[in-house]
Amino acid sequence: MLKNLPLPELEEWCVSVGEPPKRAKQLYRWLYGNRKWIRHLDQADSDAQAFSGAFKAKVAAGASLAGGLQLQSVHTARDGTRKLVFALVGDWEGGDGPAGSARGTVETVLIPMTNRQGQNLRYTACLSTQVGCAMNCQFCYTGRMGLLGNLTTAQIIEQVVEARRYLAEQEVQIPIANIVFMGMGEPLHNYDAVMAAIEILATGLELSRNKIIVSTVGLVPEMRRFIASGRAKLAVSLHATTDEVRDWIVPTNRRYPLDELLGALREAFPYDKRKGDDFVVIEYVLLAGVNDTLADAERLLALTSDIYCLVNLIVFNPHDGTQFKRSSDEDVRAFRGVFLRAGRPCTVRASKGDDEMAACGQLGDVNLSPRPAPLLRPPEALAARLAAGVSGNMAVQP
């Protein structure tokens, strides 16, 4: 699949079939160029830069322009957020099925954004990197699926290509200006495919480093590699201020506890050496009675005091079967106020698309999973607080 290949590798492939390296750039323009997005080489025939019959034969003999996804449905929320649901087709790296099987669906979200003046409307595309997720964050609907498989680079990139095709067909003049890897899956758990996709986004789809954010729950070795690459901006899903709570709601913390995770961020983003927009985004979903107290806010302020970061608070978006509740508006304001009074930047992410299960933490389909991920037992200190919100038929594991 040629869409798996960043430009240098595509140049190598062209040379391997007897073509000059410049053929790769020609392909890139037609695969990713504005309002081109071809599915097969014949679509370029009417252009002066059309492909020769000999080259078409070489592609037909051993390559494909397919992206491994087929747009299945689009769900538009009241606020204009669009959730695109794709069926997986062709070869993909399935978790349990053989190569070549197509299992499940993957979702992409187009989020309408404006500047502070309510102008310059554009979309942020929230991309998925896996079918399901292995991290088992307790508040996340995708995490309930478990991991069903990794997406290929082509399938990651095709989400953007298909989204642009869809908007053009619908005569929507709003551009996709930003990319966030915050959809289904843990991006750094599919590291090589994601890094190749970022390279294609930059060279083929012409999106700069500052327009791409990759979010991780804190896979520290991969996170260090990602930071060193300098290819995109980083967001870290922290969500708790103590190991006791984070071990429960973000089980990855049992492998990489707060000291190790925050230590890596202090090394990479030292506050005393801050410069420009080279900061990390700290994501923090507020869960009523779990991590939203003033004590949590004070701890988070202290934990991040020597990290050059922006704290982004996320209002919890509920889903069927969850044991969590969203924090009250009053508690959100109070939590943020701790940062503002200290002169530290802290934003609240506007919840968009929640009426179509398109908001943060709502993507996926648990019914696709033969074995949903386990619900874990909360720490004893929190269990009583949550008891009223826990369904009697919810099985938990230690």
Residues forming beta bridges with residue 107, ordered by sequence position: 85
- Coil, helix or strand at residue 178: strand
* pLDDT tens series, the chain, 398 aa: 999 999 999 999 999 999 999 999 999 999 999 889 999 999 999 988 899 999 999 999 999 999 999 999 999 999 999 999 999 997 544 444 333 333 689 999 999 998 888 888 999 999 999 999 999 999 999 999 999 999 999 999 999 999 999 999 999 999 999 999 999 999 999 999 999 999 999 999 999 989 999 999 999 999 999 999 999 999 999 999 999 999 999 999 999 999 999 999 999 999 999 989 999 999 999 999 999 999 999 999 999 999 999 999 999 999 988 989 999 999 999 999 999 999 999 999 988 888 887 778 899 999 888 889 999 999 887 887 666 544 333 334 44
Active site residue 283: no
Q: Which domains does the chain have, with CATH numbers?
A: 1-65 (1.10.150.530), 67-374 (3.20.20.70)
Active site residue 346: no
Q: Which residue among 11, 19, 107, 162 is the active-site one?
A: 107
Q: How far is CA 187 from each of CA 64, 100, 101, rounded to the nearest angstrom?
A: 25, 22, 22
Report how far Cα 37 is from the mean position of its chain's Cα atoms. Answer: 22
Say which residues have a Cβ less than 8 Å from residue 120's Cβ, sequence separation at least 6.
114
Say which residues have a Cβ less than 8 Å from residue 145's Cβ, sequence separation at least 6.
131, 132, 133, 364, 365, 366, 368, 369, 372, 373
Q: pLDDT tens digit string along 176-191?
A: 999 999 999 999 999 9
User: What are residue 376's phi and psi, to 5 degrees?
Assistant: -95, 155
Q: pLDDT tens digit string along 321-355?
A: 898 999 999 999 999 999 999 999 999 998 888 88
Give the residue among 309, 295, 302, 287 at the shortest CA–CA distance from 360: 287
- Coil, helix or strand at residue 121: coil
Measure the CA–CA gap between 26 and 45, rounded to whole angstroms. 13
Residues forming beta bridges with residue 126, ordered by sequence position: 109, 180
Could you tell me the pTM of the whole model? 0.92
Measure the CA–CA gap between 172 and 272, rounded to whole angstroms. 44
